[in-house]
Chain A
Amino acid sequence: MNWTTALGFGDRSWGPAMVEGAVMTLLVSTAGLAIGAILGSLVAWAKLSGAKFAGAIGEGYAALFRGLPELLVVYFVYFGSSALLTAFANLVGIEGFVGVPAFAAGSLAVGVISGAYQAEVFRGAFLAIAKGELEAARSVGMGRWLMFRRIIAPQVLRFAIPGLGNLWQVALKDSSLISVTGLAELMRESQLGAGSTHQPFTFYVAGGALYLLLTAFSDRLFEFAEARATRGMRREAH
């Protein structure tokens, strides 16, 4: 069949499968970024708090996952998460195999890697907050939770957007590695289509094009978010 039929939306065509793969890629990358945000902010908090031990653990985690190949981390999390969960389940008394779904393992892998980089983004964003504001808040007697909610969190998010936009692109690309776990995301669907129709060029170029579409679209989104978040902010004269 020629490439238009192969990628089309007809009966034996892979168009729907590719689109579903793209949606899955979006979902898994989002989940991964979210997990990374949680891990990253924890590590940033640990390092900023000055607590020696927590800071060391945070630094160790970040150094580890920045120095390991992403493919290795994906395999490790894929093999290890099910084993861990099964062991835990057996402890609690549940028999047999308890599987971590490929989606969860995949987003966990992406998240664990992303978190290592997000830690730096959050730390830098926090340090960029005007010291004066924090001092003022404390001197007025603002509670720690209120200060976090009103001063720290909104500003960290605002300063972190450029860095996060970058890391989102990275997460999107890292998600292609999850194809080795069998999750039906975009890379995997491209492989299945290529294998089934013997048209690798068509499918891998199409897959690449869909990734680029996702990238371009999210680029716009982040630009918009950054513009909105920084409205009213005084820009330093360069």
Chain B
Amino acid sequence: MGADFLWTTFTRLLGALDVTLSVWALSIVLGAFIAAGITWMRGSGVRPLVYFAKAYIFVFRGAPLLVQLFVVYYGLGSIPAVRASIFWPFLRDAFDCAVLSYALCTAAYQSEIFRGALAAVPHGQIEAARACGMSRVTLFRRIIFPIALRQALPAYSTEVISMTKATALVSMVTLWDVMSVALKIRNDTLVTYTPLIVAGAIYFVLNYLIARAFIAVEHWLSPHLRARPN
């Protein structure tokens, strides 16, 4: 009986993994685009844009994700003007709403990561490239981007793992991810710990795999930092 229950719980939770992973992937990607915009604004030197970017980062990093989620899902949904707007078909759907809210949140963190990474590019290299007459596009593509990418990876890995853990909150806005299914099993069967432990194991393995993947990418991108083969 125990093993049976364990197996059904496990398969049911795995079945919900697609919701967890889609929210996770879509919000990170969407967040990256928004973050690129915010970082650009922050570094633009144009006062209003810089202020907006700083304010955006402050708000979306300072408020708890749960509050942000509820503002976007329940808050916006209760405003008649929003319901009449073109955004409504998008905001109406719980999944889309959740992805939007998460993307807005991760964008603030990613923007800071991008900013730090860009600042870490040695200025000497940029000067040298310009002295050679490199165009701005080539400069970005060949010098800034690769170096910044490598710099950003450790912090980015932390943020990506943060996002996996954050997806558990979609259980609070009617989405059936791993967390909600685990809680439902607990409520229906009154078995308290098994569903939570199995869910925890799934999240833990997921995060472990992501961490390993990032380490592999970092390793691949930094051959110059490894010891010379003897």
Residues of A within 8 A of B (CB): 64, 66-72, 75-76, 79-80, 83, 169, 172-177, 179, 187, 190-191, 194, 198-201, 204-205, 207-208, 211-212, 215-216
Q: A169-B62, A187-B67, A208-B67 are in contact. Are A70 and B165 (CB under 8 A)?
A: yes
* B62 cross-chain contacts in A, Cβ below 8 A: 169, 211-212, 215-216
- A66 to B157 CA separation, bound complex (whole angstroms): 13
* Any A CB within 8 A of the CB of B168: yes
For the complex of A and B, the 10 pairs showing the least CB-CB separation, nearest first, are A69-B168, A176-B64, A201-B75, A200-B74, A69-B165, A215-B62, A173-B64, A67-B207, A208-B63, A71-B168
Residues of B within 8 A of A (CB): 58-59, 62-68, 70-71, 74-79, 161, 164-169, 171, 179, 182-183, 192-193, 196, 199-200, 203-204, 207-208
Taking a contact as CB atoms under 8 Å apart, the answer to whether A212 and B59 are in contact is yes
* B169 cross-chain contacts in A, Cβ below 8 A: 71, 177
| Among candidates B71, B79, B171, residue contacting A71 with C-beta atoms closer than 8 Å | B171
Taking a contact as CB atoms under 8 Å apart, the answer to whether B74 and A72 are in contact is no
Taking a contact as CB atoms under 8 Å apart, the answer to whether B199 and A72 are in contact is yes
- A23 to B45 CA separation, bound complex (whole angstroms): 39
A66-B207, A177-B64, A201-B71 provided; 20 other pairs, C-beta below 8 A? A66-B161, A67-B207, A69-B167, A69-B179, A70-B165, A72-B168, A75-B183, A76-B193, A76-B196, A79-B196, A173-B63, A177-B66, A200-B77, A201-B75, A201-B76, A204-B70, A207-B67, A208-B59, A208-B68, A211-B67
* B204 cross-chain contacts in A, Cβ below 8 A: 64, 67-68
A-B contact pairs, 13 of them (CB 8 A): A66-B161, A72-B196, A72-B199, A75-B183, A169-B62, A176-B64, A176-B67, A190-B70, A200-B78, A208-B63, A208-B67, A212-B58, A216-B58
- A205 to B171 CA separation, bound complex (whole angstroms): 21
Q: A67-B207, A72-B199, A176-B67 are in contact. Are A205 and B75 (CB under 8 A)?
A: yes
* B65 cross-chain contacts in A, Cβ below 8 A: 173
Taking a contact as CB atoms under 8 Å apart, the answer to whether A199 and B165 are in contact is no
- A216 to B55 CA separation, bound complex (whole angstroms): 12
- A175 to B182 CA separation, bound complex (whole angstroms): 22
- A208 to B66 CA separation, bound complex (whole angstroms): 10
- A146 to B70 CA separation, bound complex (whole angstroms): 51
* A175 cross-chain contacts in B, Cβ below 8 A: 64
- A26 to B30 CA separation, bound complex (whole angstroms): 33
- A66 to B203 CA separation, bound complex (whole angstroms): 11
Taking a contact as CB atoms under 8 Å apart, the answer to whether A194 and B193 are in contact is no
Q: A199-B78, A204-B74 are in contact. Are A71 and B64 (CB under 8 A)?
A: no
Taking a contact as CB atoms under 8 Å apart, the answer to whether A176 and B66 are in contact is yes
- A216 to B61 CA separation, bound complex (whole angstroms): 11
Taking a contact as CB atoms under 8 Å apart, the answer to whether A204 and B196 are in contact is no
Taking a contact as CB atoms under 8 Å apart, the answer to whether B74 and A68 are in contact is no
| Among candidates B68, B78, B168, B199, residue contacting A201 with C-beta atoms closer than 8 Å | B78
* B67 cross-chain contacts in A, Cβ below 8 A: 176, 187, 190, 204, 207-208, 211
Max chain B CB contacts within 10 Å: which of A64, A71, A72? A72
* B199 cross-chain contacts in A, Cβ below 8 A: 72
- A89 to B209 CA separation, bound complex (whole angstroms): 41
